[in-house]
Amino acid sequence: MKKLLSLLSCLLLFGCGEKKGVGDNGQTDTGSAIEKPKAPNESKASSVDGATVELPANEVADLPPLPEVVTKEFIMDLWAKPHDGRGIIEELADGGIREGVWNVISKRGPRKGEIIDSIESTMILKMIDRRYQVWEWREGDLLTYTVTTYDYDASTYRWWGASVSPEETSIFEHSGRRYWRNLMEWKAANLPDPEIQSTMRTTFISEDGRMFKVVGEAKRNGEVVSYSTGEFNWQSGLPEEHRSREAK
């Protein structure tokens, strides 16, 4: 549990994550530190430059189905597959994030204006099965894998993650909503502590998918107990071992 809580801290809890744990809290009071968007813009945007290609709407029914229960094995099986950016669903092709190696600088503290830690991490992103973004997150000895997709039945983005540590069996989960082209909000679906609520905002900075920023906040009974910011910068393309020869 200690490593899983560390993961939530870096994701907030880096701004994108959710938990599938003991609690069942899916509502978040964003408060003054993270302002509520006034109104979502549902208009569609063009895809970012790169290898991904949007999937026509009439092919959505042909996507691989989401599992009823997401497990660590499911996440790791996705990561083991080679990247293939062909036919990616529009909801991810419009996300402003490209596959490759990313550098992450996270700043964390108990609340806004009281940053204590600055931590550097590395992430690798690849596209799988037309509907998944799969991340590998490395921070010191912490190694985590996360999966993001769009759930057409629930009309929401979904995001899961798990530590590779055999001691950690919990899955964290978030649900997400897009506001305008360059802004997304994520809320924790389940957290180990039912008194904790967390929310995260992702802002896509560059049109070419090479930079985005995250602001995350956690509250206990309405009081801010954790605040973090993260800056994500694309460093290089995917290493060859993550690519499919057929997709080239």
Tokens of 91: 């909801």
Higher pLDDT, 191 or 115: 115
pLDDT at 59: 64
Cβ partners under 8 Å of residue 48, min gap 6: 93, 94, 95, 96, 97, 98, 207, 208, 209
Strand partners, 138: 122, 143
Segment holding 73, helix H or strand E: helix 72-80
pLDDT tens per residue, range 164-182: 888 887 899 999 999 877 8
Cβ partners under 8 Å of residue 239, min gap 6: 101, 124
| pLDDT of residue 228 exceeding 80 | yes
Confidence of residue 80 (pLDDT cuts 50, 70, 90): very high
The CA–CA distances, whole Å, from 59 to 55, 90, 152, 216 equal: 7, 11, 12, 35
Tokens of 9: 């801290």
As a whole number, mean pLDDT of residues 141-158 equals 94
Tokens of 76: 């790791």
Which residue's entry shows tokens 């509250």?
219
Backbone angles phi, psi at 41, to 5 degrees: -110, 115
As a whole number, mean pLDDT of residues 61-76 equals 93
Coil, helix or strand at residue 63: coil
CATH topology of domain 2-242: Lipocalin (2.40.128)
As a whole number, mean pLDDT of residues 184-200 equals 90
Backbone angles phi, psi at 29, to 5 degrees: -90, 110
The CA–CA distances, whole Å, from 189 to 20, 179, 198 equal: 7, 19, 9
pLDDT tens per residue, range 111-128: 998 999 999 999 999 999
pLDDT tens per residue, range 7-32: 444 444 333 333 333 333 333 232 33
pLDDT at 95: 60
Mean per-residue pLDDT of the chain: 79
144-181 core/surface letters (b: 16 or more CB in 10 A; e: else) = bbbbbbbeeeeeebbbbbbbeeeebebbbbbbbebbeb
